[in-house]
Chains A and B, each alone.
Chain A
Amino acid sequence: MAATSKGPVAQALSSRWAKPAVFVLGLVPLGWMVWLGLSGGLGAEPVAEAVRQSGLWALRLLLVALAVTPLRILTGQAGLARFRRMIGLFAFFYALLHVSVYVGVDQFFDWAAVWKDIVKRPYITVGMGAFVILTALAATSTNGMVRRLGGRRWKALHKAVFVAGAAGCVHYVMLVKGWQYPPFVYAAIFLGLIALRYAKSPATGRLSPSYRT
């Protein structure tokens, strides 16, 4: 009613149903994996496939979260910003699932074997690094934590999401056998999203450090 000056997209983005809708969307990969698991769709090695799928979704959603700000600037849809935290938390959720299935199912809580993997296998070291960062960011994602840390410190801390994104991409590149292209597609998208942050703002024609977040 008050949105007479807003376009339909902006209206949809600010609707009170928008966040619940994004929440449900974020659960779709989980639902799909559960369905595959129950129907035998995870194939002959369901544990390995569950690890793979949860890891892929963690990386995909991390890239989606990193795309929010450039997309907001490019489209001028300020309303996009309020979904960023939820998407980032979903990325963390799938990373948690990824690590949980690896530790709890694949290795069956053999902590000694897991620890050996972390210190001996560079791709697991790097992946665990990404997971530790995402855990810290998820833990400080609440409004209360933003207040407690103060805006500037909070922002500085949350720039670590780029380190987590880079580590996630490297983790994927390192774990495949032979020369396979899919991990490089993810890495290229990640680099593209960084590059966009250094591009000129279409609105002002100036470099805009304000959206390098």
Chain B
Amino acid sequence: MSPMTDLGLRFVRRPGPGGRAANLAALGATAVVALLLTFLVAGSLGLVHRSDRIGWRGADKADPASAIGAIGQTEETVDGRQVLRIDLATMRPNQLPPPPGLDHTPKPGEVFVSPELAKHWPGPKPTGVISDKGLSSPEELVVIRGVARVDDPQYVSSWRDSVMDSRMVGLLIAVAFGITLVLFPILSLVGQAAGVAAKRREHRLAALRLAGATRTQVLWLSAVEQAVVGLAGAVVGLVGYTVLSPLIARIPLGGGRWYVHDITVSWWLVLVVLVAVPILSVISALIGLGRVSITPLGVVRGQTRKATSALRLGLLVIGPVVLGIYGMKAAVIPLMIGVGMAALAVRVVGPWAVQLIGKTMAGLANGPVALLAGRRLADDPKGAFRPVAALVLSGFVTGFISVFMPNGQGQDEATFHDLRIGVALLLSLVFLTVAASTAAGAVGTALDQAAPARALRRSGVPLQVIERSARVAAVVPVIGVGLPVVGFGALCGLALSGGKIVTQGNSGVLLLIGQVVAGLVLVAVAGAAGAPVLRKASAN
């Protein structure tokens, strides 16, 4: 083992003053990242699994000569419940296996029902119960009836066809959009998690550089430390996901609750998370440490950072223009590029806006709280924006979605249901990311401020002044940048819809108000995670 690897592992075991809190915060945030990534991938795969099992029901307009069956679908009401009835006439019953979930191919007159429907089945005892291999959800209400012939039939060429029904296609597109929209918040969280631990290392590593360690040695040492923290976070996240799986399976998206096995992680997904999460966090940490390894004195002495350029504002134009050009008829990829560019613009413009707000605030401040908060924002706008980037981006998501909120009347009820659950789910993911990011950021800031805060407390400055300035510095970017970003999100939504507001009723307004209130409460609560750390670290 190289000396630097040994030293890196030693620093993980004995992280020094404040290091344990920083490592725990980084581990917690990384665990949330691993959990979210696992959820997104396993959830998407779950949709595909679910769709594969019932794909044959969609038929594929096969040539009747080569088809193995003909089906007809009808919606009917049984015991007051909406039930899907599938009439199935098999063409070669003895030459092929039965359809998924049935123990034999239904002969004319035989009836198979789903377990949920079996509880309410009013007629004579059905021939059999459809197993989970033939159902999309344990709650699905479906009956498959064997018939000799089907009126107005559609033909099936294989029981394993992967023809998706329109609802599944819609859901997968929504998931793709969702992933695009939460990608930046999650990447921000990775950076935040790595940044908290890296900040604790800055001075130590700068000292090593001053003592003669090479740039490569310093970076390697950091990579070792961060990889261990990232791996531990990935394990915790995977365990957390597994523990939460039964709860996640209860989310009624895309036709009801889920079978737990649909969303259970496979060995290869475990491997991907265990490799990807540490790599992502190592890359984030190394990017953050570039400053140390290049100019160690700069970090040790805390010189002024370069101001961010207003040229970043130009990025704000690209997303709406792309969305406006392609509009609602576009293919998924250009739309995702448009939304992604808009989200990227928010991420890039955010720190510039934070710096502007900070300078203005410090210039106008008449009290110590506003002065400290303003200077902190102006001094390190990237650092100040990072913890709330996810929340600000969720404002973009909300603004965007608020244009497309139907009220469910006169429209496809199932689509409306999916959209509503999907929006709630998306915002929950973002809020979880924000909570982890804000809490990790608050701990990092508290550790950063420990020494001067201790000096201020000794000099008679109440701890409350320092805490309040930290809270103000956390909340101001949310209000100052987040609210305009909500408007920018709505603008992008309108660019996509060609200026048409799809939203009916007050659901869009409720969504926006809920987002703003929940976001501010979240930042205030999660930001409080720094208070006990600051209190302890700055104690006499």
A binds B: no
| Interface set of B (CB-CB < 8 Å, partner A) | none
| Interface set of A (CB-CB < 8 Å, partner B) | none
